[in-house]
Amino acid sequence: MKKIALLASGSGSNVENIICYFRNKSEISFFVLSNKEDAYVHQRAKKLNILSYTINKNGFETGKALMLLKENKTDFIVLAGFLLKVPEDILKNYQGRIINIHPALLPKYGGKGMYGSHVHEAVVANKETESGITIHHVNENYDEGQIIFQSRCVISPADTPEDVAAKVHALEYEHFPKIIEQIIERKN
């Protein structure tokens, strides 16, 4: 049995998609960890009968999050819209077992402050002809870990940031659970 911690700061649509993808695979179990008590991801977890926890930024910085991960016998950590930098103690304890999804083709549009609509607005403002997703390992720097997978979508001159977001979300839902599954299988 592999235990995966899904870390999210907001709505949790990717979290729900991942849990539903693995629903009939008994060798995988999940719990949700958010840094925000009012994040909608908690409602999604409750609806899916998945445990969820809240640990604020200070709790991540003081080791409380690492303690929770260890207590839950966590094998892998998946960031799905998690907006805090992962602290060094967690990076050290889960080296090579933390992945993130980014809503752009890294290395472009990555780094601190580049998340959600900020990314899509920058893509449109710079008149990019493509965007996409990047799934990558997590290291001590925002969005600089080794790239595992990328998928692209075409951006037309008429696309708004909302149009780009919709195209990118479709790629996230299609690919993220499959890549997670491949990584887990490789680590067995």
What is the rounded end-to-end Cα distance, in angstroms, of the chain? 10
The one catalytic residue in 102, 118, 136, 169 is 102
Core vs surface per residue 13-46: b (16+ CB within 10 A) or e: bbbbbbbebbeeeeebbbbbbbbbeebbbbebbe
Residue 99 burial class via C-beta count within 10 angstroms: exposed 0-12, middle 13-18, buried 19 and up: buried
Annotation marks residue 102 as catalytic: yes
130 CB-near residues (< 8 Å, 6+ apart): 105, 152, 153, 154, 155
Question: Which of left, alpha, beta for 147 (phi over 0: left; psi -120 to 50: alpha)?
Answer: beta
Contact 7, 78 (CB under 8 A): yes
Taking the C-alpha atoms of residue 123 and residue 129, their distance in angstroms, rounded to an integer, is 9
Beta bridge partners of 99: 78, 137
Taking the C-alpha atoms of residue 34 and residue 50, their distance in angstroms, rounded to an integer, is 13
Catalytic residues: 102
